[in-house]
Structure 1
């Protein structure tokens, strides 16, 4: 993407660490507080294209449940324990096996998005890893220089043809989701071999993938903690990612109006 909120907040964190004189510290803190309040008021106007958050009150309550309780006391410690204590070869085998299950859905969605090259790559990876990689436990395809392209979900395919994200929801434990993504996940679950999974097997797949993803986010926790409004930061970053995926991985041309305000915020913090 041309410019992102994440990049801007990275710059904010860097600039906020600049040296300040004792006489200016209180004034700068007051200015930053006022700026944060103005920022929150502005970004709630849905400056990121495709954002629709009609249940924001409920979503914020669920966000607080996730962020203040479920994540620090359940998801984070469990994920780190999994990464720290499960042998790496075992984790790699599980990750490869679960990733291989998604390849047919990736192939079909690549076809829908008119990307024949990626569709062929996903197909080749699936049959090679399934036949020669012990049902996908070993990533033979990557070893054969058949690198996995980006994931393609049916929600991305819908977005590719102009279907909007729809309402945004914050779900306990699960996290953010839009109506388009939820519907897309349901359709993807109808493809072989995902359609062979029972409810509990699907839940296990989600849990193992979720633990890997959560552990990988530890290094980025400071960004969320220091953002003007963690809820809005998460929502906007999520929607921007979905917009990006819906383009087939091409850069999004538009620049959110909030970026102009973030430039002003950077200037004020730097002064």
Structure 2
């Protein structure tokens, strides 16, 4: 249940992956006004987008972006990063990340990536045995770096299952039907299946606070976009398409999506 927390996903939940650079000219020429941009976006310029509940989703976006994020998620996340000692945060982050390694391994196998599956397996047993159940990232110190995350939603996409309807969930953020179903399946793998509801919620919250704080430097990109809702949706779907390809380059990039590139490249650094 790897999630970016407490509505902080709103800024772009988890975006990390493919893309390159925003271009001011492409933004202005593609849509001179919010109305024009919104009308253009209904054509779903990003492949795999399906937003049949856009009216409801926009209302939830306003709730999350204008109220819950600035008054709850953002200040809580920054307080966590500013006041919790770095070694403590690193230990928590390592421990929680280690819990996902078996699911990453299984999904790498499903996606026919044996090398990445072996890497996830080695990282899990090394960090679990020698790294105090994952609190210390011994594997990275041994030059076994962590590859990208692999979720069951990505595995389904790899075999052609579409994203399905897009939802903006209050107090949660963007999600598609495929991703939601995939997260449920990933939660059945050891050791995630041993977590209680409250432990899973705690994992989600700690991971989310780190990720939300890391996105502070990217906020202006979202604020300056003609339509932040469409910007977020398109970047989110583009990232899901990228992950479903196993991290390979997209066949082609729609011209109207060039402005997403820099944002995704910079978020990928975190």
TM over 0.5: yes
Q: Which has the higher contact order (CA 8 A, sep 6+)?
A: 2
Structure 2 counterpart of 1:22: none
Larger radius of gyration: 1
Mark the CA change 1:226 to 1:154 in structure 2 (over 3 Å): closer, same or farther.
same
Q: Name the SS for the 1:177 alignment partner.
A: strand
Deviation sequence 1:8-31 (CA, Å, 0-9, x none): 2xx329x99xxxxxxxxxxx9xx9
Please provide the CA RMSD for this pair: 2.4
Superposition pairs of residues 13-24 of structure 1, within 5 angstroms: none
Secondary structure of 1:70's counterpart equals: helix
Match of 1:7 in 2: 21
Alignment size in residue pairs = 244
Aligned-partner Cα distance in 2 for 1:33–1:128: 51
Secondary structure of the structure 2 residue equivalent to 1:7: coil
* Alignment correspondent of 2:185: 187
Find the aligned partners of 1:123 and 1:261 in 2 and give their Cα distance.
37
Unaligned ranges ≥5, structure 1 = 17-27, 263-271
Change (3 A) 1:197 1:143: same
Whose helix fraction is larger, Structure 1's or Structure 2's? 1
Cα displacement (A) at 1:81 = 0.2
> Any stretches of 5+ residues in structure 2 without a counterpart?
1-15, 261-270
- The 2-side partners of 1:260 and 1:41 are apart by 18
Alignment of 1:33-48 (within 5 A): 34-48=32-46
Q: Does 2:87 correspond to 1:75?
A: no
Give how far 1:257 is off.
Answer: 5.3
